């Protein structure tokens, strides 16, 4: 009888101490687990984090960024995605090489294509570029867009359906500048950086903190199993 | 050793990921299949005003661009449309005749999952489908396990092709009346 009481007291103390250790980790497991169960609902796979410390923590390779500064906003290329300000307006299979703005429209040239859009970032159309050379650039004359190389220029009709040879543009083309990923404000929906889903998965498994984190989560999981057993044991004994 | 490398290579080619992405049909091949050798001139339709609102309601979001291209011959129109499945746009072609889809093809698939929608067993389901008054497809389209988002994207594009065809036919009828 005395031995049983002693065993119960030891088991109770052990149960409390393990419970305290496991509680914090179990809280992490539960919260991240519930969030991960509803990835679609919380848009975890469509939210990307780009904090410098997080990218450094993950050794995330720095994306290539280039930009063209228009009068009111910038055209930015981050890897294969094209943005007007903070709005994603398209993707590209090659580098950004030109952008020009008239009073009503903006034309962006990247890779082999052109993106025609309004100043609000609404895409009107995407089309193949009539010139696809590395030296090509975009400019404007009045309300008409022009595309060309050093000496040869084409001028577009208002619908951008037909390009005819023309004079050199009134407004000189804007230059493409290389920039740093860390110096540009990027929207969370841009699929560049570490996704929230990945971060929560790594937090859930403990991998965010390397092998120590994984070991801690393993111990917490084993601890939970032992707590369940010791809890049942103590409850049955008291009855 | 060479045999092992060849086997690994063949296995990689046969894996679902290798099958997933790619251009399955070119635009010209699609148009030739739709109209034969005499492909009509490309025309444009602008999404403005009420049509833009209706398209937004139909898709549940705004379409990716406001100037669309189509090809028309008599009562037949042909549309090349894009919708995002999960992350990347899927390009599909639809041929509409007498306000019913007569052909549906996946032209380009860029996602890593859901490529099964390219199979003719799936796309043939859209044939003879119409748009109901409450903007639904007149036929039930069987889904594919593991390709729900791609199937949803195809359904949205089918509805859009039918609605845009209606718009073109209405405009044509209006011009003919005047």
Task: Give the model's pLDDT for residue B113.
Answer: 83
Q: Is residue A100 part of a domain?
A: yes
Give the contacts of B58 (CB within 8 A, at least 6 positions apart): B135, B156, B159, B160, B163
Same domain, A76 and A48: no
B44, B64, B87 member nearest A191 (Cβ): B87
Same domain, A174 and A101: yes
Q: Is residue A40 part of a domain?
A: yes
B7 pLDDT more than 90: no
Same domain, A201 and A175: no
Same domain, A128 and A161: yes
Summarize pLDDT for B139-157 with one digit per residue, the tens.
999 999 889 999 999 999 9
Summarize pLDDT for A131-154 with one digit per residue, the tens.
877 778 999 998 999 999 877 899
CB contact under 8 A, A125 and B66: yes
Total tally of structural domains belonging to chain A: 2
Contacts of A122 in chain B (CB under 8 A): 66
Same domain, A140 and A105: yes
Same domain, A91 and A147: yes
The 10 Å Cβ neighbour count of residue A221 is: 15
Give the contacts of A35 (CB within 8 A, at least 6 positions apart): A42, A44, A200
Looking up residue A164, the CATH number of its domain turns out to be: 2.130.10.10
- Distance from the Cα of A218 to chain B's closest Cα (Å) equals 31
Same domain, A110 and A79: yes
Q: Is residue A44 part of a domain?
A: yes
CB A239 within 8 A of CB A37: no
Q: Is residue A133 part of a domain?
A: yes
Q: Starting from the edge strand earliest in sequence, which strands make up the sheet with A96-101, in order?
A: A96-101, A105-110, A113-118, A123-128
Report the range of poorest mean pLDDT among A6-15, A53-62, A161-170, B7-16.
B7-16
Alpha-carbon gap, residue A163 to A236, rounded angstroms: 86
Same domain, A95 and A121: yes
Same domain, A11 and A105: no
DSSP-derived pairing of the beta strands A123-128 and A113-118: antiparallel
Same domain, A71 and A173: yes
| Residue A211 belongs to domain spanning | 2-58+193-238
A87/B contact by beta carbon, under 8 A: no
Task: Give the model's pLDDT for residue A46.
Answer: 81
Provide the 8-state DSSP code for A120: T
Same domain, A54 and A75: no
Summarize pLDDT for B89-121 with one digit per residue, the tens.
899 999 999 999 999 999 999 888 888 999 999
Q: Is residue A188 part of a domain?
A: no
Provide the 8-state DSSP code for A158: T
Using the 3D structure, point to which of A183, A205, A224 is the last residue of a domain: A183
Contacts of B44 in chain A (CB under 8 A): 159
Same domain, A120 and A155: yes
What chain A residue is nearest to B66 in terms of C-alpha separation? A124
A77 pLDDT more than 70: yes
Task: Give ipTM to 2 decimals.
Answer: 0.77
- Distance from the Cα of B84 to chain A's closest Cα (Å) equals 12
């Amino acid at each position: 009888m005395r031995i049983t009481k002693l065993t119960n007291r030891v088991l109770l103390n052990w149960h409390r101490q393990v419970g305290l250790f496991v509680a914090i980790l179990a809280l992490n497991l539960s919260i991240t687990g519930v969030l991960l169960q509803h990835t679609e609902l919380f848009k975890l796979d469509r939210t990307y984090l780009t904090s410098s410390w997080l990218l450094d923590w993950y050794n995330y390779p720095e994306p290539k960024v280039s930009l063209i500064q228009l009068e009111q906003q910038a055209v930015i290329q981050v890897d294969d995605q094209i943005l007007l300000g903070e709005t994603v307006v398209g993707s590209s299979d090659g580098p950004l090489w030109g952008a020009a703005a008239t009073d009503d429209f903006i034309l962006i040239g990247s890779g082999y294509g052109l993106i025609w859009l309004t100043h609000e970032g609404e895409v009107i159309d995407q089309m193949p570029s009539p010139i696809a050379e590395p030296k090509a650039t975009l400019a404007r004359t009045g309300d008409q867009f022009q595309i060309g190389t050093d000496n040869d220029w084409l001028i577009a009709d208002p619908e951008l359906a037909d390009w005819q040879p023309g004079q050199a543009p009134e407004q000189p083309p804007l230059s493409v500048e290389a920039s740093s990923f860390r110096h540009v404000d990027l929207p969370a929906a841009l699929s560049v950086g570490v996704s929230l889903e990945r971060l929560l998965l790594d937090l859930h498994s403990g991998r965010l903190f390397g092998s120590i984190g994984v070991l801690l989560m393993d111990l917490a999981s084993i601890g939970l199993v032992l707590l369940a057993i010791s809890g049942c044991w103590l409850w049955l004994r008291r009855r | 050793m060479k045999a092992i490398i060849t086997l690994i290579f063949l296995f990689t080619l046969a894996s679902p990921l290798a099958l997933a992405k790619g251009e399955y049909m070119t635009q010209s091949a699609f148009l030739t299949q739709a109209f034969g050798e005499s492909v009509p001139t490309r025309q444009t339709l602008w999404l403005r005003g009420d049509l833009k609102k209706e398209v937004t309601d139909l898709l549940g979001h705004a379409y990716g661009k406001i100037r669309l291209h189509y090809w028309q011959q008599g009562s037949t129109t042909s549309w090349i449309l894009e919708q995002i499945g999960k992350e990347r746009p899927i390009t599909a072609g639809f041929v509409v005749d007498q306000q019913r889809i007569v052909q549906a093809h996946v032209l380009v698939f860029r996602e890593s999952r859901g490529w099964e929608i390219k199979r003719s067993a799936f796309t043939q389901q859209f044939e003879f489908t119409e748009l109901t008054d409450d903007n639904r497809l007149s036929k039930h389209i069987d889904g594919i396990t593991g390709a729900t988002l791609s199937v949803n994207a195809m359904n949205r594009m089918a509805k859009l092709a039918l609605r845009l065809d209606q718009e073109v036919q209405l405009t044509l009828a209006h011009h003919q009346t005047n």
